[in-house]
A and B are shown apart, each in its own frame.
Chain A
């Protein structure tokens, strides 16, 4: 497989959320605001990139019988690191993510990529895989969060910059938010419809 394919497969063909269906717990939990989704994606991207890199570099040293605990040690140290950094520099995102940030440790995407890819491939390939996968995760999570926030609260929350307060109000929905979308059922509904759309899209491509 070419290097480009390692990078791009995570975007659509093997999108972690809509195709592999990994890491759904944070997807359903933090997708109420776009800013949270971006923060979560950044955390996952950092952890995934470095865990894939380290695990792939150590793949010949780690004994097969204890490979899962070894992966967890690597991932947990990275997560603790990102958690402290977020707590120090973006406390609002840190508070909003709550328990989902430490739970990256047991996130299926990270463990899954370590197990399925990094433990069998070279460091460069693993890094490309991590970048592609985390961009795919970020796209999916942000898409869900965008839809949920738009319908559920009528706003799009980004980060404040200069004069821009960070919150965009959507005219009609701001006054009449369809609250179900920001509750748990809304997450599952949006997830289901997007999954159906991606499945339909890939089956249509196959038919051609």
Chain B
């Protein structure tokens, strides 16, 4: 009998080498610049926080995998969750906080619902929100980055532009946005930012928030490093532009138009650029809102999802009680994801308007 030279198999015939593990490790790689920058400016302590959150996440995944008899430890999803949890922590938090956040993320947000792919909420965000509402004070006490620490007055050591403007508004100070408030209180800017500011005319504080010379969570301070990671993911086609671009633009435009109202600057008084660069928006928009499991499948749905995230981020930032809003906005839209997927269905092949008209005529 001749050996068949033709292999008969069902479709698909073209394979890309994209499996869960390669995607998860690529995303972790894309987060490397931002986390390295965080470790550089906040020192050894932040490395410890990252280490605790990652190890806890891996350990929880291992133990639960044993219980469920599914060995998913090395697909990288738990590593990524742990990394994101750590990047969302202030560098000065007591170490039990990242521990609890990772346990909650893996155990409650992910495995209770059936493991990777079955969770309705982004595990890392759920973990962060869990500890944020439990330990609000340590979670919102920040330390100054190394690049500014020598020139910084003590009173401002833990101020972020968002928390400062929130405090100012609730204290009745009007007529400021985050950046001008920082400068009026003597917050220093790096020399590089001042030089760039002289060249471009953009506020030096906005440039410093872009570069990452500002107090904040370990992984969120440098918008530049996050952008580099985001571009890498776009180039690898792991994410598409729909969610991050829509999310960033909708928050920025809404902040620009309405963001000045609570601080007394009126319509079109908010700042466009610093609203994108400050807080966890860049991290959230590029790495958390784009989570495959908890975002809609179709591009149209993704745009609706991202618009919702942008709207709620803007709303909570300027009219809510918390200084940071990205995590809760994304979680809120995670809840809407099944509904978006249900009502925004991609057009079937051949289902054109002409085809439908023909069908209608045939029926009539």
Which residues of A are found within 8 Å of B135, using beta-carbon distances? 176, 178-179
Report Cα–Cα, A176/B93, bound state, in Å.
12
Chain B, range 136-150, C-beta contacts under 8 Å to A: 136
Q: B100: CB under 8 A from chain A? A: yes
- Do the beta carbons of B96 and A179 come within 8 Å of each other? no
Q: Does A23 contact B (CB under 8 A)?
A: no
**How far apart are A204's CB and chain B's nearest CB, in angstroms?**
15
Q: Is B133 an interface residue (CB 8 A)?
A: yes
Query: Would you call A189 and B108 a contact (CB within 8 A)?
Result: yes
Contacts of A178 in B (CB 8 A): 100, 134-135
Whether B94 lies near A179 (C-beta < 8 A) is: no
A177 touching B108, Cβ below 8 Å: no
In the complex, A183 Cα to B134 Cα: how many Å? 9
Q: B130 near A: Cβ within 8 Å?
A: yes
For B133, the chain A residues whose CB sits under 8 A away are: 179-180, 183
* Chain A nearest Cβ from B50, distance in angstroms: 21
Expressed in whole angstroms, the Cα–Cα distance for A58 and B94 within the complex equals 62
Task: Give residues of chain A (145-182) contacting chain B, Cβ–Cβ below 8 Å.
Answer: 176-181
Q: Are B108 and A180 in contact, with the CB atoms below 8 A? A: no
Query: Which residue of chain B has the shortest Cβ distance to A177 in the bound complex?
Result: B134
A136 to chain B, nearest CB (A): 25
Shortest B96–chain A CB gap in Å is 7
List CB contacts (< 8 Å) of A8-62 with chain B: none
How far, in Å, is B120 (CB) from chain A's closest CB? 14
**Complex interface: chain B residues within 8 A of A183 (CB):** 133
Closest B residue to A192 by beta carbon equals B112
B contact residues around A181 at 8 Å (CB) = 134
Residue of A nearest to B104 (CB): A180
CB within 8 Å of A: which of B249-308?
A: none
Within 8 A of B (CB), among A172-208: 176-181, 183, 189
Q: Are A180 and B130 in contact (CB under 8 A)?
A: yes
Which of chain B's residues has its CB closest to A180's CB? B134
Q: Are A176 and B108 in contact (CB under 8 A)?
A: no
Is there contact, CB below 8 Å, between A176 and B96?
yes
Q: Which residue on B lies nearest to A151, using beta carbons?
A: B134
For residue A176, which residues in chain B have a CB less than 8 angstroms away from its CB? 94, 96, 135
Inter-chain CA distance A179–B131, complex, in Å, is 9
What are the residues of chain B within 8 A of A177 when measuring CB–CB? 134
Residues of chain A within 8 A (CB-CB) of B108 are: 189
Chain A residues in contact with chain B, CB under 8 A?
A: 176-181, 183, 189
* For the complex of A and B, 10 pairs with smallest distance between CB atoms: A178-B134, A179-B134, A180-B134, A180-B133, A180-B130, A179-B133, A183-B133, A176-B96, A176-B135, A178-B100
Given A179-B135, A179-B136, A189-B108, 12 more contacts at CB 8 Å?
Answer: A176-B94, A176-B96, A177-B134, A178-B100, A178-B134, A178-B135, A179-B133, A179-B134, A180-B130, A180-B134, A181-B134, A183-B133
